[in-house]
């Protein structure tokens, strides 16, 4: 059975899902038959990975099709019971076209420790992820498991599932996977930085510049701006021996050293987590972040 889609052909999506499955397995984001991937083919039809199949060795014909009520309409293999969580995402946010669930080790470690993902630390996270909420634990496959992500739909693109893994979504399977990959890489950096002694924060004024950049990239308005929440989530994570939140040194407009360099005036050095530092040359910031993003995309291509 071939289903007419609102985007790329079903066969192309099947191939993409298998490719993303190979990446997930190669990155050790899923062991054995862990994880699942899906794509909304049409308003009420979803292509998904089957149960009891290793994501690193899937074939396009292994995938199955279900409707938004979870009833299988195509495919020889049975869908995983965790498909219910995918369907909850699609029902809750009609803009979502793809969902990826797996167990990236560093991000999952935060969920196992009950540690919220800090913000105001890494530019790419502010631009492409925003706040990554943590859902309460629920038994996989049940109705409560699907319900656990409901509060975050329309507000986030990635969620840490306590004592389980992560789920991310986006306009394509690859973009949904990118969110997971960015998150796990970030969590690894956080763990390493804390082992070095401290995690410094980006000043709030500079975080706002990144949120402007997020909107310019077409990633939507960050939910912290929509609901007026605190910019810096979990500010006590990685606090140094002095017990105070330290801010990164900032190069202000035109100073030597470039964005993030050693030269230039220091806007803020330390604060109690409540200070906001602003200023700087936004054009330099946009240029620096864009160059880093394009280099990452070219490396993946």
> Which three-class secondary structure string do you get for 69-105?
CCCEEECCCCECCCHHHHHHHHHHCCCCCEEEEECCH
Q: What is the mean pLDDT of residues 231-236?
A: 95
Please check the confidence at residue 263 and state whether its pLDDT lies above 80: no
Q: What is the mean pLDDT of residues 86-97?
A: 96
Per-residue confidence band for 130, with pLDDT thresholds at 50, 70 and 90: very high
Please check the confidence at residue 274 and state whether its pLDDT lies above 70: no
Please check the confidence at residue 207 and state whether its pLDDT lies above 60: yes
Token reading at 244: 């105070």
Residue 48 pairs in a beta bridge with 38, 64
If one looks up domain 10-196 in CATH, what number appears? 3.40.225.10
Per-residue confidence band for 92, with pLDDT thresholds at 50, 70 and 90: very high
From residue 268, give the alpha-carbon distance in Å to each of 98, 206, 253, 271: 41, 11, 15, 8
Please check the confidence at residue 256 and state whether its pLDDT lies above 80: no
Residue 72 pairs in a beta bridge with 66
Catalytic position from the list 10, 16, 19, 82: 82
Please check the confidence at residue 223 and state whether its pLDDT lies above 70: yes
Q: What is the mean pLDDT of residues 217-231?
A: 91
Mean pLDDT of the chain: 87
Please check the confidence at residue 272 and state whether its pLDDT lies above 80: no
Structure confidence at residue 142 (pLDDT): 85
Judging by DSSP bridges, how do beta strands 64-67 and 134-135 pair with one another?
A: unpaired
Asked if residue 27 lies in contact with residue 16, where contact means CB atoms within 8 angstroms, the answer is: no
Domain parsing of the chain, residue ranges? 10-196, 204-300
Structure confidence at residue 261 (pLDDT): 36
Whether this prediction's pTM lies above 0.85 is answered by no
8-state DSSP, 202: P
Please check the confidence at residue 288 and state whether its pLDDT lies above 80: no
- Which is more confident, 253 or 234? 234
Structure confidence at residue 266 (pLDDT): 34
Structure confidence at residue 290 (pLDDT): 65
For this structure, is 82 an active site residue?
yes
Asked if residue 178 lies in contact with residue 170, where contact means CB atoms within 8 angstroms, the answer is: yes
Residue 243 pairs in a beta bridge with none
Structure confidence at residue 60 (pLDDT): 97
Structure confidence at residue 283 (pLDDT): 57
Structure confidence at residue 293 (pLDDT): 63
Of the chain, the percentage scoring pLDDT greater than 90 comes to: 73
pLDDT tens across 149-197, in order? Answer: 999 999 999 999 999 999 999 999 999 999 999 999 999 999 999 999 9
């Amino acid at each position: 059975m071939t289903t007419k889609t609102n985007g790329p052909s079903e066969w192309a999506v099947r191939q993409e899902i298998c490719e993303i499955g190979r990446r997930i397995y190669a990155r050790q984001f899923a062991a054995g038959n862990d994880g699942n991937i899906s794509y909304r083919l049409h308003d009420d039809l979803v292509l998904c990975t089957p149960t009891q199949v290793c994501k690193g060795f899937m074939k396009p014909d292994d995938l199955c099709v279900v409707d938004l009520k979870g009833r299988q309409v195509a495919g020889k293999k049975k869908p995983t019971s965790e498909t219910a969580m995918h369907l909850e995402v699609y029902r809750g946010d009609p803009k979502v076209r793809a969902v990826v669930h797996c167990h990236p080790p560093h991000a999952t470690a935060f969920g196992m420790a009950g540690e919220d993902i800090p913000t105001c630390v890494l530019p790419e996270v502010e631009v492409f992820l925003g706040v990554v909420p943590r859902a309460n634990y629920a038994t996989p496959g049940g109705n409560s498991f699907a319900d656990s992500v409901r509060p975050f739909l329309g507000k986030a693109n990635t969620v840490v599932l306590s004592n389980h893994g992560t789920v991310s979504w986006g306009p394509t399977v690859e973009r949904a996977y990118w969110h997971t990959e960015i998150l796990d890489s970030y969590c690894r950096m956080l763990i390493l930085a804390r082992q070095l002694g401290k995690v410094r924060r980006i000043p709030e004024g500079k975080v706002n510049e990144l949120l402007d950049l997020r909107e310019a990239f077409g990633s939507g308005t960050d939910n912290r701006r929509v609901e007026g929440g605190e910019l810096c989530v979990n500010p006590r994570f990685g606090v140094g021996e002095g017990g105070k939140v330290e801010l990164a040194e900032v190069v202000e407009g035109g100073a030597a050293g470039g964005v993030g360099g050693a030269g230039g005036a220091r806007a803020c050095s330390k604060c109690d987590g409540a200070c906001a530092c602003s200023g700087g040359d936004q054009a330099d910031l946009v240029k620096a972040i864009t160059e880093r993003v394009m280099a990452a995309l070219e490396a993946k291509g």
